[in-house]
Structure 1
Amino acid sequence: MIKRLFASLLLVLVTVSAVIAQNPVVITGSVLADDGEPLPGATVAVSGTSNATATDIDGRFTLKVPAAKKDGKIHVSYIGMRPVEMAISMINGPVEIRLQDDDNRLEEVIVTGYATLSKERATGSFGTISSKKLESKLATNLADRLEGQMAGVVLNKDGSMSIRGRATLNAETDPLVVVDGYPTELKLSDLNPDNISNITVLKDAVAASIYGSRSANGVIIVSTRQGEEGKMKVSYRGSLKVLPKPDLDYLHMADASDYIDAEIELYNQNPGGTTIANRGTMSEVSTLIAKNKAGMISDAEYNAGIEVLRQNDFLADMKKYMFRTELTQTHNLGISGGSSVNRYNLAVNYTNTKGAFINTHSNRVIIDLNNEWKPFRFLTVGVGASISYSRSHAPNTGWQTYTNYGQYIKPYSRLMDANGNLTNLTPLSYASQQLYDGIAGSKDMYYNPIQDSYDSYNKTATFGARVNGFVRFNIMEGLYAEVGGNWNRSNSTYRAIFGSGSYVMRNAYNSSTSMSNPTNHYIPDGDAVNETRYTSEDWTLRTQISYSKSFGLHRVSALAGNEVRRISYDNNQYATRFGYNSTAGSFSPVNIKDLASGTYNSDMIGGSAGFYPEYGEYSLRDNRFVSWYFNGSYEFNNRYLVSGSVREDLTNFFGTDPKYRHKPLWSVGGTWKIANEDFFNAGYI
Structure 2
Amino acid sequence: MNPILKLNSGIKVYFVLVIISFLSVNFGYSQNNLGLLTGILRDSSTNETIEGVTVVLVGQSTVKASTDNKGKFEIKTKVTKGTLTLSRVGYRPKTVAFDLSASNTIEIGLAKAENMLQEVLINTGYQRISKERVVGSVDVIGTELINRNVGANIIQRIENLSPGLLVNHGDAAAQDAFLIRGRSTINAEAKPLIVLDNFPYEGDLENINPNDIASVSVLKDAAAASIWGARAGNGVIVLTSKKGKIGATTVSWNSNLSYKGKPDLDHRKIMSSADRIALEKFLFDNGRYDAYKNPTTLGNRIAVVPDAVELMIANAPDLDAQLAQLAGQDVKKDLRKYFYQGTLNSQNAVNVSGANDRMQYYISTGLDQGRSQLVGTSNQRFTLRSNNRFKVTDRLGFETTISYIRTNNKNGNNDGMGTAPSGTYTLSPYARLADDNGNALPVYLNYRKGFLDTVGNGRLLDWTYRPLDEINRETHSTDKQDLLFAVSADYKVLDGLQASLQYQYQHQAGNGRDLFSEESYYARNNINDLAQINRTTGLVTYPFPLGGIIWQNYSSTRSHQGRGQLNYSKNWKQEHQLDAMAGFEIRTIRTQNENYQNIGYNAENGALANQVDLLIYFPRRTTTATRRIAFNDYKDGAVDNFLSYFGNLSYRYKNRYDVYASLRKDEANLFGLNTNDKGTPLWSLGAAWDMAKEDIGLDKLFSRFKLRGTYGVSGNIARNANAISTITLNTSGTTHPFPTAYLNTIANSKLSWERVKQWNAGIDFEFLNKRIKGTIDWYTKKAVDLLASTPVDPTYGVSSVYMNVADMKGRGIDIQINTQNIKGALSWETVWMYSHTSSKITKYLLPVASTSQQYLPITLANPLEGRPLYSVFALKWEGLDPANGDPQGLLAGNLSKDYNALYNQTPLEDLVFFGTAQPTHFGAVRNRLTYKQFDLSFSISFKFGYYFRTNSVNYTNMFAGDWYGHADYAARWQETGDEMYTAIPSLVYPANVNRDNFYKYSEALVQRGDHIRFDDINIGYSIPKLGKLKNVRAFLYFSNLGMLWKANHRGIDPYYNNNPREARQVAFGLNLSL
Same fold (TM over 0.5): yes
Provide the rounded CA distance (Å) in 2 between the counterparts of 1:318 and 1:199: 41
What is residue 434 of structure 2 aligned with on the other side?
416
Question: What aligned pairs does 1:524-673 form with structure 2 within 5 A after superposition?
Answer: 524-552=545-573, 553-574=575-596, 576-588=597-609, 599-600=617-618, 602-607=619-624, 613=630, 615-656=632-673, 659-660=676-677, 662-673=679-690
Asked if the contact 2:253/2:350 (under 8 Å) is kept, the reply is yes
- Give the partner amino acid of 1:139: G
Provide the rounded CA distance (Å) in 2 between the counterparts of 1:99 and 1:407: 75
Pair 531,169 (structure 1): closer, same or farther in 2 beyond 3 Å:
farther
- Give the partner amino acid of 1:142: I
Per mean C-alpha deviation after superposition, the further-off stretch among 216-225 and 106-115 is: 106-115
What is residue 479 of structure 1 aligned with on the other side?
497
Per mean C-alpha deviation after superposition, the further-off stretch among 378-387 and 582-591 is: 582-591
What is residue 27 of structure 1 aligned with on the other side?
none
Asked if the contact 1:549/1:555 (under 8 Å) is kept, the reply is yes
Structure whose alpha-carbon radius of gyration is higher: 1
Per mean C-alpha deviation after superposition, the further-off stretch among 265-274 and 442-451 is: 265-274
Partner of residue 89 from structure 2, selected from 71, 75, 82: 82
SS at match of 1:507: helix
Provide the rounded CA distance (Å) in 1 between the counterparts of 2:256 and 2:627: 45
- Residues 210-242 of structure 1, C-alpha deviations (whole Å, 9 max, x = no match): 112123232111111111222211111111111
Asked if the contact 1:256/1:310 (under 8 Å) is kept, the reply is yes
Asked if the contact 2:226/2:233 (under 8 Å) is kept, the reply is no
What is residue 1043 of structure 2 aligned with on the other side?
none
- Residues 142-163 of structure 1, C-alpha deviations (whole Å, 9 max, x = no match): 2221222222223344694332
What is residue 327 of structure 1 aligned with on the other side?
344
Percent identity of paired positions between Structure 1 and Structure 2? 25
- Residues 631-668 of structure 1, C-alpha deviations (whole Å, 9 max, x = no match): 11112222221111111011111135574573521111
Asked if the contact 1:336/1:345 (under 8 Å) is kept, the reply is yes
Q: How far does residue 287 in structure 1 lie from its aligned partner after superposition?
A: 4.4
SS at match of 2:281: helix
- Residues 145-190 of structure 1, C-alpha deviations (whole Å, 9 max, x = no match): 1222222223344694332333334333332221111222123321
Provide the rounded CA distance (Å) in 2 between the counterparts of 1:603 and 1:415: 29
What is residue 198 of structure 2 aligned with on the other side?
181
SS at match of 1:644: strand
- Give the partner amino acid of 1:619: D
Pair 272,442 (structure 1): closer, same or farther in 2 beyond 3 Å:
same
Asked if the contact 2:444/2:465 (under 8 Å) is kept, the reply is yes
Question: What aligned pairs does 1:218-367 form with structure 2 within 5 A after superposition?
Answer: 218-272=235-289, 274-276=291-293, 277=295, 278-285=300-307, 287-288=309-310, 292-293=312-313, 296-298=314-316, 300-367=317-384
What is residue 719 of structure 2 aligned with on the other side?
none
Asked if the contact 1:198/1:223 (under 8 Å) is kept, the reply is yes
Q: How far does residue 375 in structure 1 lie from its aligned partner after superposition?
A: 2.3
- Give the partner amino acid of 1:541: G
Pair 138,454 (structure 1): closer, same or farther in 2 beyond 3 Å:
same
> Is 1:133 aligned with 2:155?
no
> Is 1:510 aligned with 2:522?
no
Asked if the contact 2:452/2:464 (under 8 Å) is kept, the reply is no
- Give the partner amino acid of 1:399: G
Q: How far does residue 87 in structure 1 lie from its aligned partner after superposition?
A: 10
What is residue 16 of structure 1 aligned with on the other side?
none
- Give the partner amino acid of 1:627: S
- Give the partner amino acid of 1:307: A
Asked if the contact 1:82/1:99 (under 8 Å) is kept, the reply is no
Per mean C-alpha deviation after superposition, the further-off stretch among 341-350 and 111-120 is: 111-120
Pair 613,126 (structure 1): closer, same or farther in 2 beyond 3 Å:
farther
Provide the rounded CA distance (Å) in 1 between the counterparts of 2:235 and 2:111: 34
Per mean C-alpha deviation after superposition, the further-off stretch among 580-589 and 540-549 is: 580-589
What is residue 791 of structure 2 aligned with on the other side?
none
Q: How far does residue 318 in structure 1 lie from its aligned partner after superposition?
A: 0.9
Asked if the contact 2:691/2:698 (under 8 Å) is kept, the reply is no
Provide the rounded CA distance (Å) in 1 between the counterparts of 2:382 and 2:111: 36
Provide the rounded CA distance (Å) in 2 between the counterparts of 1:495 and 1:608: 31
SS at match of 2:554: strand
SS at match of 1:327: strand
Aligned CA RMSD, in angstroms, stands at 3.4
Per mean C-alpha deviation after superposition, the further-off stretch among 232-241 and 135-144 is: 135-144
What is residue 898 of structure 2 aligned with on the other side?
none
What is residue 7 of structure 1 aligned with on the other side?
none
SS at match of 1:669: strand
- Residues 33-72 of structure 1, C-alpha deviations (whole Å, 9 max, x = no match): 425376979xxxxxxxxxxxxxxxxxxxxxxxxxxxxxxx
SS at match of 1:621: strand
Per mean C-alpha deviation after superposition, the further-off stretch among 155-164 and 123-132 is: 155-164
Partner of residue 379 from structure 1, selected from 385, 393, 396: 396
Q: How far does residue 618 in structure 1 lie from its aligned partner after superposition?
A: 1.1
Provide the rounded CA distance (Å) in 1 between the counterparts of 2:628 and 2:661: 58
- Give the partner amino acid of 1:560: A
What is residue 475 of structure 2 aligned with on the other side?
457
Q: How far does residue 263 in structure 1 lie from its aligned partner after superposition?
A: 2.9
Q: How far does residue 524 in structure 1 lie from its aligned partner after superposition?
A: 1.8
Provide the rounded CA distance (Å) in 1 between the counterparts of 2:546 and 2:685: 67
Partner of residue 108 from structure 1, selected from 120, 136, 144: 120
Provide the rounded CA distance (Å) in 2 between the counterparts of 1:564 and 1:315: 55
Pair 173,113 (structure 1): closer, same or farther in 2 beyond 3 Å:
same
Provide the rounded CA distance (Å) in 2 between the counterparts of 1:350 and 1:86: 40
Provide the rounded CA distance (Å) in 2 between the counterparts of 1:541 and 1:567: 12
Provide the rounded CA distance (Å) in 1 between the counterparts of 2:626 and 2:520: 14
SS at match of 2:696: helix
Higher relative contact order (CA 8 A, sep 6+): 2
Asked if the contact 2:280/2:309 (under 8 Å) is kept, the reply is no
Provide the rounded CA distance (Å) in 2 between the counterparts of 1:491 and 1:87: 52
Q: How far does residue 346 in structure 1 lie from its aligned partner after superposition?
A: 0.5
Per mean C-alpha deviation after superposition, the further-off stretch among 279-288 and 350-359 is: 279-288
> Is 1:122 aligned with 2:156?
no
Asked if the contact 2:547/2:599 (under 8 Å) is kept, the reply is yes
Q: How far does residue 460 in structure 1 lie from its aligned partner after superposition?
A: 1.0
Provide the rounded CA distance (Å) in 1 between the counterparts of 2:285 and 2:221: 60
Q: How far does residue 683 in structure 1 lie from its aligned partner after superposition?
A: 3.4
What is residue 221 of structure 2 aligned with on the other side?
204
SS at match of 1:587: coil
- Residues 535-562 of structure 1, C-alpha deviations (whole Å, 9 max, x = no match): 0011211010011122232221110001
Q: How far does residue 316 in structure 1 lie from its aligned partner after superposition?
A: 1.6
Asked if the contact 1:288/1:302 (under 8 Å) is kept, the reply is no
SS at match of 1:34: strand
Provide the rounded CA distance (Å) in 2 between the counterparts of 1:509 and 1:184: 44
- Give the partner amino acid of 1:221: V
Pair 86,649 (structure 1): closer, same or farther in 2 beyond 3 Å:
closer
Question: What aligned pairs does 1:41-80 form with structure 2 within 5 A after superposition?
Answer: none
- Give the partner amino acid of 2:369: N
Asked if the contact 1:415/1:450 (under 8 Å) is kept, the reply is yes
Q: TM-score, normalised by structure 1?
A: 0.80
